[in-house]
């Protein structure tokens, strides 16, 4: 199966590793390098670093509004696109490219905490359970059907960083 992976932060790296071990990851899409640190030097995303280490070609379009960016993805002939904290909302024209669509790994038990920062929102709300969902992407934000879900308890003194790491490995 030809998989295109799309993700940016450290949270997405365990999923990239898992996808690479189970199928042919033909490309990794990630956000463009951004200024970081005191010197504001351009820094690659954790997904880019992992992909380069594994020899996976990396693509970093600013967005998919251009026909060229969509054509580049289409030329990869993906069977499936796996999306984990990519940071871009994918238009329907991109969701339609992979033969089996786009699957998103989301760090909450949907429909609770759709959108950005679900880990922080769960802790701020005092939730005692959360989890990870694998969902079929559609035009709406985290509104597609859930394919798989795994729940975990949130410890009473658990920090956002600790929960982040547990959910990343679960994804």
pLDDT confidence of residue 40: 86
pLDDT confidence of residue 37: 83
Q: How far apart (Å, rounded) are the C-alpha atoms in residues 54 and 13?
A: 12
Return all residues near 52 (Cβ < 8 A) that are at least 6 apart: 44, 58
pLDDT confidence of residue 16: 98
Q: Where are the domains of the chain?
A: 1-104, 107-133+142-171
pTM for this structure?
0.94
pLDDT confidence of residue 74: 98
Return all residues near 128 (Cβ < 8 A) that are at least 6 apart: 153, 154
Q: How far apart (Å, rounded) are the C-alpha atoms in residues 50 and 55?
A: 9
pLDDT, mean over the chain: 95
Show the CA angle centred on residue 86, arms to residues 149 and 117, nearest 5°. 65
Give domain 1-104's CATH architecture: 3-Layer(aba) Sandwich (3.40)
Percentage of residues in the chain with pLDDT exceeding 90? Answer: 89
The 10s digit of each residue's pLDDT in 45-68 is: 999 999 999 999 999 999 999 999
Res 170 pLDDT > 80: yes
Mean pLDDT (whole number) for 87-109: 96
108: nearest Cα among 86, 130, 138, 129: 130
- Whether the ω angle into residue 11 lies within 30 degrees of 0, i.e. cis, is no
61: which 2 tokens?
């379009």
pLDDT confidence of residue 36: 85
Res 23 pLDDT > 80: no
């Amino acid at each position: 199966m030809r998989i295109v992976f799309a993700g940016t932060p450290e949270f997405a790296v365990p999923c990239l590793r898992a996808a690479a071990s189970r199928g042919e990851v033909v490309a990794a899409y990630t956000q463009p390098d951004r200024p970081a640190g005191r010197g504001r030097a351009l820094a690659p995303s954790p997904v880019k670093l992992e992909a380069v280490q594994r020899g996976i070609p990396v693509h970093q379009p600013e967005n998919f509004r251009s026909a060229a960016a969509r054509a580049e993805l289409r030329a990869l002939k993906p069977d499936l696109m796996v999306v984990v904290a990519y940071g871009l909302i994918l238009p329907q024209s991109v969701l339609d490219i992979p033969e089996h669509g786009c699957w998103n790994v989301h760090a909450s038990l949907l429909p609770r905490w759709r959108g950005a920062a679900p880990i922080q929102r769960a802790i701020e709300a005092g939730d005692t359970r959360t989890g990870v969902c694998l969902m079929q992407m559609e035009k709406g934000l985290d509104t597609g059907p859930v394919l798989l879900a795994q729940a975990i308890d949130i410890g009473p003194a658990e920090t956002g960083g600790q929960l982040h790491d547990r959910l990343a490995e679960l994804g």
